[in-house]
Each structure stands twice: as structure tokens, then as C-alpha cells.
Structure 1
């Protein structure tokens, strides 16, 4: 009887040790497993490219390196919504650990494709109106990240400081982008404060751009460019046409100024992507994405394109020039 008890005890110890060893092996396997991330970008232009670079830099800063413990696949829809949807569906079928969606259309396509895989987003102006989260503070969905909230009040104040006689502000926008509609609504709310009238013109593709520009530039004192993917992709054309008509362009962000706009006081998309990358790390480490936010950047930078300044023959006060980062672009 004593022998049987000893044998039973020995078997129990062996089984327990085996189970613990097995659990440890599995845990170690998970730690050594490469994290698989699919990056879906709606279009190729400097702001979104910078956001992608910032995201990857953030991962690297926390020890997640491509080819070592990280497997990143980057896909670009080149502005096509259908392609964006296919990209997200492929990421889901490949069972990616996480999806990084750059810009609202890409984020919506990813969210339409999965409610299970965590989705980190960036360059989304209003994630609530886009139907991605229930609130900015706590998403309550499989989406979190950063949003490119435009400091319109600062930008319109800057516009009025430089061009005090301006009354009519032209805004081109993509009729299919939620982001653009949100920004136009806000622009109209703020415009009255600075005695400005907003004149809009909707476009659906690059093919509409030349005609729309020819019409709107004859009606306005200043052109303002939104954080709209179609507009961002068309900045060289927009800037060239505006300079030809001697109409200054105030951009929403730095990439617009690099593309030929005169000036901006905007956020850095690289920093925006970096912050999104830090949130991705939190998710990888086990943070519940449903409890996370979609945050925005508060810091802005004043940037002036000196090439455009010279071509327009505009005079900007020394005080503003001294505060600004001066760049050349749009040549």
C-alpha cells in the first residue's frame, strides 16, 4: 500500500513537472515568435509616408526590428478604395497580429474587414464620425491610434495676420472623404471669427483638379489646402496654378509647403506615426485596445516655403519669419 502511494506520488510529480515544462516552452515560443504587422496606406504622398516611417521608428525604439522579431508587410492602395478593402481582407486571411492603417479610407477598410485583429490608425481626422470608435477617449472597438486634428484656428489666424485684407478663402476637397467634410464644417465655424468667407469646390479625382482650380482661383483671395489625400497628392499642380494666378496657398501641414504651398502652422506626421507606433507596442505587450484612445498632437510648427514666397512677391513680417522653419520646395 505504501509502495502504491509512493508510485502515485512519483507519477503526479512527473506529470506536474511535464506540464510546467510544457507551459514554459510554449511561453518561450510566443516570446520568440515574430510579430506580424500589416501596414495599409491609402495613397502615396509625403505626409502619409512620414507617418509610416514614424510608426516603424517607434517600434524599433522599443526593440521590435524588421527581420528579427518583427515581420512587416506594407501595401499601398494608390488611392483606390476597392484595392484598400482587398489589402485589409488579405491581411485578415493571413492572420496578422496587428494592422496599421494610414488615413481614414484605409482605416475604414480595415475595420470593415475585421473586428478581431487590433487596428492601430493614424492620419484619421475624426474617428468617431468615420465610424471607427465610440469615443476619442476610449475606443470600445478594436481600433486605437492617433488622429491628425488640424489646428484650424491657428492657421486662420496666421492667414489673417499675413493677409489682413483677405476675405474669401477657397477650399478644394475630395467629396468622398469624411475627413474633408469634417474639416470644412470646422473651417466654416471658425471663419466668422476672422471675418472670412469659405468658398468650396468638390473634386472626385485628379482629372477634375485643373478645371476646379481654374474656377475657384478666380473667386478667392487665398487658397487653403486640407489634410485630404487627393489634395495632398495634387499639391504640385495646385501650387503651380495658384502661383500663376498670384494666389497664396496656406497648407494644413508641412508636406503641403514642401509641395509648393506658401506657409503652414501644422503638426508633424512623422511624430503622429511615431505616437501610433508606441500604441502598437502597448497592444503587442497585452494592453486591451478597447480601453485605449485615439489621441492627437498639440505641438505645431510654423513653416515657410521661400521659393514660393519669392515667386508670389509676398511680404511677411520679420517676427513671423524669425519664428518659422524655412524650406525650399515645389520647384
Structure 2
């Protein structure tokens, strides 16, 4: 009986030891399991971000600036940054109001986005002033140096870079085209908001180019979009053609200018393709969508590849071509000659029927 009792006790002891050994083994497995997630978390933390936020400030909504934004977003999407999936875009428009513009810049500065984009000179200026702790890119800016966004186009330095939408050669070539093909034009009318630095810079280049052909640039000043109609009407009878720069206040009232040009048979020259597509006659230009796409590629390099904005060259349009609107020509009493058409490099894309 005692012998059986001792045998039973020995069996119990073996079972207890086995259980303890099993428990110890499970404990080691548990420690490894708890260590594995920690290692995985560290890998995630040390790797590239998976979600991004970009803040956009756009001075006003009109075709050129909208196309710039669309191209920018398309470049992000093509690089795998898709809005609603791994990308949040905070879009803001100042509606051409400088007070709104400053407020938006301050709001973006207080936000926690990974990158800020300023579309048009006033918005870019406000962002560069207010946002000092993260990358800032600009687009649709005429003269980044004059606007004090950067001090060097090839090596901007700091946290700012982007793309200018103006190649001075484009303005000069357009004025040369007008002088060569419209010998009766002696005065060109320009509606301009002198408060927009980009408009002032471009007007000066155009004025100097026209002067070489003994053509005078006649200005009609406005301070906001509501004054464009009256300013345009004031030029009728004084000028032989119309021209506008990338002046946001003026482009926002484009239909008014088109009507004045059509009603009075005034050849209408513009500074961007979108304006020609809508009813101006001619420009030396490019697609703003492509311009925005270029800046979007810069954003991808910064966010995904760790590029420093200050080391990224500020670019200017280099694929320039004469763009003609044939319907606008008819509305403005223009006979489009073969000589004019032959100056268009890509006739299929840039002679708009």
C-alpha cells in the first residue's frame, strides 16, 4: 500500500516537473513574440512614411492655376501618392484677396502638413514668410527672385524651391510675332494690376520688346477683377491690339476681355495657353498642367526620396511653341497666313481649330 502510494507520488512529481518545463518553454515563446512586434515597429518607424499631408494655397481659381494644381496632383498619383488613400490634400484659395491670402498662410503654418505648395506669386510669398519649418514649393510664379522667394535659381538653399511659369524669351518672341505679322499695330493695350509683381515684371519685358519695333504699350490700371471691364473699354479707340500678362486679377475676368477684343476686331495676345484656348488669338507658351506636373515630381522627390528643396534647381518652361486659336482669329477679324502657321512647331497640338 505504501509502495503504491510512493509510486503515485513519484508520478505526480514527474507531471509537475514536466508542466513547469512546458510552462517555461511557452514563456520563452511569449518573450520572442513580444519582441518580434517591437522589432517590426522599429522597422516601420525607421522606414519611409506611409501617409502624407500636403497643404496648397492658391491665390485664385482660374484655368491656368487650376491646371497647375491638377498637374501637381497627377504627378503625386503617378508616384503612388493617392488622395484618399495615403495622401491628404488641404486645398485653400484666397479668391484674389490679399488679406485672405495671409490668413491662409498662417493657418497652413500652424498645421502639421509634410509640405506646402503656393500657386501664384502672392500665395507663394505668404507661405515662404509664414512656413519656416518644412518644405515649401511654388508654381505659377513669374520671377522667384524678384518676388524674394529665393536668391538663386540654380541653388535656392533653405526649404524653398519650385518652378517659374515664365521664360522671358516667350514674351519677347510673342511681341516679335505681333510686330512682324501685324504691321498696322502701333499701340498695344494692357489691362494690368500694378499690385501684382508678376504682372509688373512681364509688362516691363513686353514694353521693352515692343519698343524695339516702335510699338507703344498702353496701360489701363486696375486694382481688382471688378474693374477689368471698365479698363478694357477705356482702351478701345486708343489701341490696335490687346495683350495680358499672367495677371491673376485680369485673367479672372477673361471673358470680359475676349468680348472687347471680338466686338472691336482687336487681335488679342496672351501669356498662356489656357487663355488662348478660351478665346485669345495667340501666345508663345506651354501647358500649365505640365508645369504643375513638374512641381509635383519635385514634391515626390522631397517626400519619398529625401531630397532637400534648397538643392533643387528652380525650373522654367523650356518647351515653348507658338499657339494659335483659329476661331478667335475669325472673331477678331484676323487673317491667319501660311507664314503664321508655319511658325507653329507642333501644328497638331498648337493650332486650335
TM-score for both structures, normalised by structure 2: 0.83
Alpha-carbon displacement from aligned partner over 1:35-69 (angstroms, at most 9, x marks no partner): 10011111110000100011011111211111222
Deviations 1:273-318 (A, max 9, x none): 0110111111112111122222111112322222221222211112
Q: Residue 301 in 1 paired to residue 318 in 2?
A: no
Query: Could you say which residue in structure 2 is the equivalent of 1:231?
Result: 250
How far did 1:20 drift?
6.2
2:332 pairs with 1:312: yes
1:64 to 61, 66, 81: 81
Q: Which residue of 2 aligns with 1:212?
A: 231
- Contact residue 171 and residue 284 of structure 2 kept, 8 A: no
| Aligned-residue offset at 1:217 | 2.6
1:326 equivalenced with 2:345 (yes/no): no
Q: 2:10 matched to which residue of 1?
A: none
2:306 is the alignment partner of 1:286: yes
Q: Is 1:168 aligned to residue 187 of structure 2?
A: yes
- Aligned equivalent of 2:152, options 135, 138, 142: 135
RMSD: 2.1
Match of residue 90, structure 2, among 61, 68, 73:
73
Report the Cα distance in structure 1 between the residues aligned to 2:115 and 2:97, rounded to whole angstroms.
Answer: 22
The change in CA–CA distance for 1:39 and 1:224 in structure 2 (over 3 A counts) is: same
Deviating 4+ runs (over 4 angstroms): 16-22
**Retained in 2: the 8 A contact 1:54–1:270?**
yes
Counterpart Cα distance in 1 of 2:158 and 2:112: 18
Cα distance in 1 for residues equivalent to 2:217 and 2:330: 26
The aligned length equals: 312
Q: What's the counterpart of residue 149 of structure 1? A: 166
Deviation of the 1:224 alpha carbon: 0.9
Which residue does 1:11 correspond to in 2?
none
Q: Are the aligned partners of 1:253 and 1:267 in contact in 2 as well (CA < 8 Å)?
A: yes
Deviates more, 1:159-168 or 1:276-285: 159-168
CA distance in 2, matches of 1:303, 1:134: 32
Unaligned runs of 5+ in 1: 1-13
Conserved? CA contact 2:187–2:218, under 8 Å? yes
In the TM superposition, what is the alpha-carbon distance from 1:21 to its structure 2 partner? Answer: 5.7
* Gap change, CA 1:188 and 1:141, over 3 Å in 2: farther
TM-score (norm 1): 0.88
1:176 and 1:264 map into 2 onto residues whose CA distance is 23
1:90 paired to 2:107: yes
Aligned partners of 2:140 and 2:164 also within 8 Å: yes
User: Aligned residue for 1:108?
Assistant: 125
